[in-house]
Amino acid sequence: MATGCSQAPTAMDAARDGDSASDATRGDGTATDASDAGVDAHEFDSLDDDAAVDAADDVAMDVDDVADAVARDAPSSDGSDVALEDRASDTGVDVPAPRFAVGGVLRGLTAGTITLRNNGGDDSTLNADGMFRFAQRLPTGAMYAVTIETLPANHQCLVSAGATGTVAGADVTSVVVDCAVSGTRLFTRTGAPETFVVPAGVSTISIEAWGAEGALNEDMSAIGGSGGYASGTLDVMPGQSLTVTVGGQDGFNGGGASFRLPASCRSTGGSGGGASDVRVGAATIADRVIVAAGGGGAGGNQSRLCTMLGGMLVNMFGSGGGGGGGYYGGGGGGVDFDDGTTLAPTGGTQTAGGRGGGTLTRGNPGVLGGGGGGDARGATLDPLTAVAGAGGGGGGGLVGQDGRRNGLNRAYSGAGGSSYIGGVRDGVTRAAERRGDGQVRFRW
């Protein structure tokens, strides 16, 4: 009769049952070693460890891939577009080139708005000083050109630095736009000095000045010399006071007077024209920073049958014209002898007033700031030819023009004063430009 046998449990069965492979038994109850089953239990432990290592390596590779991707796509710390790596080799997709801002600083805007333009179409409108940048970013190698499209009211502005250039792998911050308050003021003759207060935001004023023309003689047969011209740039501070004095054709502000003869003779010469000047500080004559010289007055007519007091008919020499006012005034006219000797009055210079003219009677010399007065010989019973007076010497550039005579008329006109530009930058002078009263113009 067949005898039933129980199958011996394997080491795997023992492991599933929570028993050690060495505790497995045969069917007859004899203890069985795992090696008898042909399998070492440590092999299973080794297989489990290898699998764990492989899994850990796979996770680490995945983390590294994620970190690389984040690093490639991360923005820069300064907020600008960063050069992204070309991932075409990884993904087959091209990454756009980085772009950079163009901008700079605006200075000197006190009110209103200014519109700046880059490359003819990218506008930026600003209403206050400070840093600015245009909306459109540009790639490395791109050109930029910044211009001013619209100006704020009462301002002059310019791109003073960095107007053009090439983007070089970073934001452009070197564009500088400077603004200053602008305006103009014309001063005309009032017969008194005027005060001008420098507006806020103004650091320089461009000045043009014209001296007054010398006066006509009494008979109006000869005109005085034209006033001189002076210009330059004055450095100022907001709130600073400047004093402006405009010369008159009547001699206001330094024109020399002519010697006055009886009105019936109509032989009196003209007065010298007054200078126009600008002064700082205490506004004394030593505080002048620019002067436009006045012209010399015309010489008086030489007349016949001039009625003197008591009804006496006499002949009259004309009186000399007054010297023009200026930095230094021109010499006044006098009267020469009839022996052919002459001594003309001279114009003012940068260091001295002009010499008075005449040999029979001498005109007065010019002085700092004023022209010399004209003189006269007076009446004579000797016959005289009626001759018109001579025109005055012109107000100078740096040196005034000399006085003159007209033929047989022995009375001289006055000489012109000298102009001055020693207190301004970029100064210019010209002689004999202005007819009538003087004037001064400020621009800022």
Domain range summary for the chain, segments of one domain joined by +? 99-181, 184-444
Q: Is the pLDDT of residue 73 over 70?
A: no
Instruction: Say which residues have a Cβ less than 8 Å from residue 192's Cβ, sequence separation at least 6.
Output: 245
Distance separating alpha carbons of residues 140 and 379, to the nearest angstrom? 92
Tokens standing for 11? Answer: 């080491």
Residue type, 431: A
Which H/E stretch holds residue 156? strand 155-161
Q: Which CATH number fits domain 99-181: 3.20.20, 1.10.260, 2.60.40, 3.40.50?
A: 2.60.40
pLDDT per residue over 289-300, tens digit each?
999 999 999 999
Closest CA relative to residue 213, chosen from 322, 57, 369: 322
* Greater pLDDT, 201 or 292: 292
What is the tens place of the pLDDT at every residue in 162-174?
999 999 999 999 9
For residues 260, 261, 265 and 266, what is the CA-based torsion angle, rounded to 10 degrees? Answer: -10
Lowest mean pLDDT among 24-38, 87-101, 125-139, 246-260: 24-38
Q: Residue written as tokens 């004309």?
A: 318
The residue written with tokens 């230094």 in the block is 328
Cα–Cα distance measured from residue 171 to residue 76, given in angstroms and rounded to the nearest whole number: 12
pLDDT-derived band at 18 (thresholds 50, 70, 90) equals very low
Distances (CA, A) of 395 to 43, 60, 73, 354, 433: 122, 96, 77, 12, 8
> CA-CA distances (angstroms) from residue 188 to 209, 278, 372?
10, 13, 24
Token reading at 438: 């003087």
DSSP string, 187-215: EE--SS-EEEEPPTT--EEEEEEEPPPPP
Of 325, 349, 302, residue with least CA distance to 414: 325
Place of tokens 């113009």: 441
Instruction: Give the distance, in angstroms, between the CA of residue 317 and the centroid of all CA atoms in the same chain.
Output: 56
Q: CB neighbours of 244 closer than 8 A, spacing ≥ 6?
A: 187, 193, 194, 195, 196, 276, 277, 278, 279, 440
Query: What CA–CA distance (Å, rounded) separates 40 from 437?
Result: 127
- The mean pLDDT value for 164-190 works out to 96
Asked whether residue 178 carries a pLDDT value surpassing 80, the answer given is yes
Of the pLDDT bands very low, low, confident and very high (cuts 50, 70, 90), residue 90 is low
Tokens of residue 368, six digits: 């700092």
Mean pLDDT over residues 412-435, rounded? 97
How large is the average pLDDT for residues 424-429?
98
Other beta carbons less than 10 A from residue 412's beta carbon? 40
Characterize the bridge pairing of strands 288-292 and 276-279: antiparallel
Residue 221 burial (CB count, 10 A): 21
- Quote the pLDDT of residue 35: 39
Task: Using the predicted structure, report yes or no on whether residue 80 has a pLDDT greater than 70.
Answer: no
Question: What is the reported pTM?
Answer: 0.69
- Token readout for 91 is 């993904």
* Average predicted confidence (pLDDT) for the chain: 84
Q: Rounded distance, CA 31 to CA 24, Å?
A: 6
